[in-house]
Copies of this chain bind each other. A is one copy, B any other.
């Protein structure tokens, strides 16, 4: 597990806070790119050969050894010092500014983070193919971008519930999730102290925070969907907007006439927000107030620059229900709402499934892009099968990698506890790492510039038996090191010239290092040399090989050093 040290404690800190995870990830230090007055964080991985690799860093000041952390005071409100352009047509949003040709500090920050040109960021935001969720009232956040032209992002859900958890647990979960790479977090709290929990999270979160305002609204009516009103919901949205929530899931596409479409499903309606609105619609025989009041919602959102995450309240909850009429009927309505939101200058992304077998995944992206003007797609997995509860981080990583390859911009993680219980600290980490794998695999498959640098650095370290570098370049250095040490606990093994699978006498890595040395000694150094050698059928080279004889392939244990 990661470094666990106590953070600075103040009397006003949550009374039950046990610890806070501080300090850099093993083998790394915080590094900042300076772009005018902007300081853009990177994680610098230091290698034993004197080289380093800088990687995208979501963890905020918590991994900066020089930062002073005080949960009660919160993170520095850095964005307050940045330039804030005048409203355009009444909208103070990244979308409105991008359309007006203005490159904001937020855009320049994310461009430096992604290693791309700021104009690409502006143009993608302007056409609505990317969003920068950044509520003006969350100045502590380090802006990031969600869009298919950029690195695939990962969201981690946290939040207590009626059953268990505490405020301190949730703050630490946020710190913990962003340490391992969560690009945004959603606070899905449903229990007591919902407002206070969110306040602690927002003031201390370096990443955008999303919520589902319907959950708190339902708390206010004691859990009875029929008692909900537009006014209660609106006031909740404003309350959360004032606190600084960066994006909100709104299930405005669950229309009255779609509800019976779910009646014959194997798993009905599995979205909490969707089922609440379905209950309300049927109880009142009226169209959803989220739909009928959508224009008013847009007017609130654009004041703060809150990004819509249009919820898929009718997403499939099983393989049997994937890509059915209910799901796609709602998606069409989300497309209509996307157009309305954008006409108000409000940024929009679209939520997606759920449970989908592999052969039906691409169709989800194709339809979303067609119906929703290519607004960024933000999917939950999808799970590629229903039969593996306790392993749904894996069933869903398969679907997540594939849907991201097809164009999904952000993946909502799934933990091993999905369908079974509430994730604890370990589950959060496993969920985030698993989804970083899916996101990075998609970045590779999409040819994202520089994505392969890390794979190449790690594989090169592996081939050269630089064990420490292999660990430190890994998504989870601590667990990689721990697993290795179970087999070979001795420190010398960290530089041993054999891998732990094979043992000293029998290592393919060692043998192929010899092949390389041999090829170089014999002048087989360029691709052309090799091609020529193949063409000559090795005839000419045979004589050269003869001279080297068995020297290259001495019994391997003779050259494997003293370890083990």
Q: Chain B residues with Cβ under 8 A from A261's Cβ?
A: 530, 534
- A548 vs B479: C-alpha distance when bound (angstroms): 56
Which residues of A from 214 to 272 have beta carbons under 8 Å from B? 215, 218, 222-226, 256-264, 266-272
Are B421 and A500 closer than 8 Å at their CB atoms? yes
Write 13 A-B pairs (CB below 8 A) sorted by A numbering. Answer: A163-B503, A260-B519, A264-B516, A275-B512, A285-B546, A318-B463, A387-B473, A387-B475, A390-B479, A391-B434, A419-B501, A420-B500, A421-B483
A283 within 8 A of B: yes
A549 within 8 A of B: yes
Q: Chain B residues with Cβ under 8 A from A96's Cβ?
A: none
A508 within 8 A of B: yes
Given contacts A278-B511, A384-B445, 14 further A-B contacts (CB under 8 A): A162-B504, A264-B516, A270-B509, A275-B508, A279-B515, A282-B515, A283-B549, A283-B550, A318-B456, A387-B455, A393-B394, A398-B402, A419-B470, A421-B487
Are B474 and A389 closer than 8 Å at their CB atoms? yes
Are A218 and B470 closer than 8 Å at their CB atoms? no
A320 within 8 A of B: yes
Q: Given A218-B506, A269-B511, A319-B452, do A226 and B550 touch, yes or no (CB 8 Å)?
A: yes
A190 within 8 A of B: yes
CB closest residue in chain B, given A255: B538
Which residues of A from 181 to 240 have beta carbons under 8 Å from B? 190-191, 215, 218, 222-226
3 closest Cβ contacts across the A-B interface?
A: A268-B512, A421-B487, A263-B519
Q: Chain B residues with Cβ under 8 A from A191's Cβ?
A: 503
A385 within 8 A of B: yes
Are A455 and B553 closer than 8 Å at their CB atoms? no
Q: Chain B residues with Cβ under 8 A from A541's Cβ?
A: 260
A471 within 8 A of B: yes
Are A508 and B271 closer than 8 Å at their CB atoms? yes
Are B502 and A161 closer than 8 Å at their CB atoms? yes
Are B440 and A385 closer than 8 Å at their CB atoms? yes
Are B269 and A508 closer than 8 Å at their CB atoms? yes
A174 within 8 A of B: no
Q: Given A401-B384, A455-B319, A512-B275, do A462 and B419 touch, yes or no (CB 8 Å)?
A: yes
By size class, the interface of chain A is 35 or more
Closest chain B CB from A327 CB (angstroms): 14
Are A268 and B513 closer than 8 Å at their CB atoms? yes
Closest chain B CB from A514 CB (angstroms): 7
Q: Chain B residues with Cβ under 8 A from A420's Cβ?
A: 480, 483-484, 487, 500
A306 within 8 A of B: no
A17 within 8 A of B: no
Are B455 and A268 closer than 8 Å at their CB atoms? no
Q: Chain B residues with Cβ under 8 A from A336's Cβ?
A: none
Closest chain B CB from A550 CB (angstroms): 5
Are A506 and B190 closer than 8 Å at their CB atoms? yes
A6 within 8 A of B: no
Closest chain B CB from A392 CB (angstroms): 9
A75 within 8 A of B: no
Are B164 and A487 closer than 8 Å at their CB atoms? yes
B162, B257, B389: the one contacting A506 at CB < 8 Å is: B162
Q: Given A190-B503, A456-B266, do A260 and B385 touch, yes or no (CB 8 Å)?
A: no
Closest chain B CB from A271 CB (angstroms): 6
A103 within 8 A of B: no
* Cβ proximity bits A147-161 to B, threshold 8 Å, 1 near / 0 not: 000000000000001
Q: Given A358-B405, A358-B441, A538-B256, do A263 and B524 touch, yes or no (CB 8 Å)?
A: yes
Are B357 and A441 closer than 8 Å at their CB atoms? yes
B257, B269, B384: the one contacting A444 at CB < 8 Å is: B384
A555 within 8 A of B: yes
CB closest residue in chain B, given A215: B506
CB closest residue in chain B, given A535: B257
CB closest residue in chain B, given A404: B358
Q: Chain B residues with Cβ under 8 A from A507's Cβ?
A: 272
Q: Chain B residues with Cβ under 8 A from A505's Cβ?
A: 162, 223
CB closest residue in chain B, given A286: B542
Q: Given A320-B459, A402-B402, A433-B388, do A276 and B511 touch, yes or no (CB 8 Å)?
A: yes
Which residues of A from 390 to 439 have beta carbons under 8 Å from B? 390-391, 393-395, 397-398, 401-402, 405, 416-422, 424, 433-434, 436-438
